[in-house]
Structure formats: structure tokens, C-alpha cells
Amino acid sequence: MKKNRRATSTLLDRLFQTSSTFAFFPLRIVLGLIFFAHGSQKLFGWFGGKGLEATATSFAEKFHLVPGILWATLAGWGELLGAVFLFLGLATRLAALNLMIIMTVAILVAHRKAFFVHEGGMEYALCLWAAAFALLVGGGGSFSLDKMMVGKRNL
């Protein structure tokens, strides 16, 4: 029993472990703003978005992601919740991994035919993927709930 508890504790420590740098704070906030807006567009039609039904139809007809409602819901909530977790710096690595997966699908399905954004390419999605990757590797940084949680566990 002690061995399982220790393994779980070590896994949680590694998940929430983060560097002491300030550099990840602005990255988390900006990436969170971008994904909050994109998730809100998909789910609620905010910020000029189409809303869930239209996004689902687009996913199904344009990108052959069937059923469209499932994939639109997963993408929308994944972006929105990922953004909230990034804002808080809570489970930053999991949030970043989630957003990397969403951007990988976007690159492979919607943006693979070109590189530059003005041609419908992957340039922008690739930048978002790289920013999320930096947070996956580095964690939430000094101004994060992850840092506070690890600090309290080590007292």
C-alpha cells in the first residue's frame, strides 16, 4: 500500500512540478486568451463564431469529422477548459497536452495543404502547438497554482 501511495505521490509531484521562471506566465495568459476565444466561438458563437451546431456541420461536411457534434463539442470544450486551466496555471502540463492534441488534429485535418495562414495553412496552428509544447515541458512557472501546490507539499 505504501508503495502505491508513493508512486502516486511521485506522479503528482512530477505533473505539478514547474520551473521558477516568470517567462511562462505571459505565455499561459496569452495562449489562454486565444484558446478561450476559439472555444467560445465553437461552443457559444461568441467573438464572431458560428456556435456549436454550425461548427458541428462544418466539422462533418468540410473535414469529415463524423459525428460533427461530438468532435465540435470535444474541440470547443477542450479549448475552453484548457484555457481556464492555463489562466490558473493548474495542471498546466495536462492542459498543454490537451491543446497540443487539438492543434495536431487541426494541422493534420484542416491546415495540412499549405504553410502560410493566408493560404489556409498551418503556420498559426503550429505556433499555438509550439507554445503549448513549451508549457508541457516547462510547466506553469512561478505564478501558477501548480507552483503553489508543489511548494505546500514540500513543506
Half-sphere exposure of 16 (CA within 13 A, CB side): 19
pTM: predicted TM-score of the whole model, two decimal places: 0.87
3-state DSSP assignment of residue 38: helix
Task: List, in order, residues 6 or more apart from 66 with CB less than 8 Å away.
Answer: 60
8 A C-beta contact, residue 124 and residue 117: yes
The one-digit pLDDT tens for each residue of the chain (155 residues) are: 556 656 556 776 777 778 778 899 999 999 999 999 999 999 999 999 999 999 999 999 999 999 999 999 999 999 999 999 999 999 999 999 999 999 999 999 999 999 999 998 999 999 999 999 999 999 999 899 988 887 655 43
pLDDT score, position 155: 37
Q: What is the DSSP string of 42-64?
A: HHH-GGG---HHHHHHHHHHHH-
Q: Where are the domains of the chain?
A: 2-153
Which grid cell is 60?
Answer: 462533418
